Amino acid sequence: MKQSNDFFQTLRGYLTVFLPSQKCCSENTRKAYREVLNSLIDYLQSEKRIGLGQVSFELFDETLVLEFLDWLQTTRHLTASTRNHRLMVLRSFFKYAGMVDCAQIDLHMKLKKIPTQNEQGRIVEFLTENALKALLTQPDISKISEYRNMVFMTLMYDSAARCSELLDLRVQDLRLDSSHPTAYLTGKGNKMRLVPLMLQTARHCEQYLAQFHPEPTKKGSDYFFFTVSHGERHRMSPDNAACFMKRYGEQARYSCPEIPNRVHPHQLRHTRAIHLYRDGMPLALLSEFLGHANVETTKIYAYADTEMKRAAIQKGEKARGTISDAEPIWKNDDEMLRKLCGLR
């Protein structure tokens, strides 16, 4: 029983002390980590028939972790990116366990050797320049709430902020009274970064401040974007932002067929990142601009841009007739395929 207690005591320390206090993880991050570790316990119970009271560090090895990851992919149809995230959480937990008890260091080192899966097939959803323009012109800025929505989308694109970062933005986080306007964004792990803003975006923000945060009542600690309920201001919710962007996307699709079927706030971040990369911003600088902890994460934009170029080249080749859409003669002919492969 003591071995089981050691495991759960370590687990509790990891979730309630280490993540919030030492790693400074947000509540959303802690929730995501908790769900991964819960799914690990669920796997032990349902697939290995191991009761909760029997769970101990001695049960875990590289094989079990691999079986768990395979089980997740089979039963929950995880993408490579999500699988890699689950592996990262397990590595983090067992690294912490090794810090608490050096006997667990060996397992952590073995988990570090488990390879991540290739994510190059990951699709980056972004808007074309025509689609972006169509989307940003949808709000009726003669209405005060619509003007707020326009400023939200413009600022989100310009800053390439995560939706949560923009919703957490305070009045005091903006520096608009200079020739080089900036915004302070608080990202994952409460890490702050300073991002430059275009002058036109700054002017929109100044006009927004005059309407929504007039001088007599303006407080630096107030949320920049807010909703009003029962006479009180509240932080705008992610659902609110997702709702009006979905609506604008549906409206814009009538005049711009390039608008994707699903429009959501994070597309503006992806779109800005793609545009900056195309304009020549180095990956290392782009990674810093986006608040990525690892430049490897930023490489998805380089891959997406390469695939766009490849698609354009293939489209041109087809137009010139150098690429044929005709099916190969061996399709549906197993015997011929075997001969071509040297099996006959």
Give the residue ranges of DSSP H helices in the chain: 2-13, 27-46, 62-76, 80-100, 105-112, 129-136, 144-159, 163-167, 199-212, 238-252, 266-278, 283-290, 295-319, 334-340
Q: Which amino acid is at 18?
A: F
- The structure tokens listed for 186 are 């608080």
Please state, in angstroms and rounded to a whole number, the distance separating the CA atoms of residues 77 and 275: 31
**Residues forming the active site:** 162, 188, 266, 269, 292, 301
- Residues written for the chain: 344
Please state, in angstroms and rounded to a whole number, the distance separating the CA atoms of residues 272 and 266: 10
Helix axis angle for 199-212 and 144-159, nearest 10°, is 140
Please state, in angstroms and rounded to a whole number, the distance separating the CA atoms of residues 183 and 164: 14
- DSSP reduced 3-state for 107: helix
- Per the DSSP assignment, residues forming a β-bridge with 235 are 226
Q: Are 157 and 272 in contact (CB under 8 A)?
A: yes
Residue 81 CB contacts under 8 Å (≥ 6 apart), including other chains: 119, 122
Q: Which amino acid is at 317?
A: E
Please state, in angstroms and rounded to a whole number, the distance separating the CA atoms of residues 344 and 339: 5
Query: Alpha carbon of 176 to those of 3, 9, 195, 200, 209: distances in Å?
Result: 57, 49, 12, 11, 10
Please state, in angstroms and rounded to a whole number, the distance separating the CA atoms of residues 171 and 219: 7
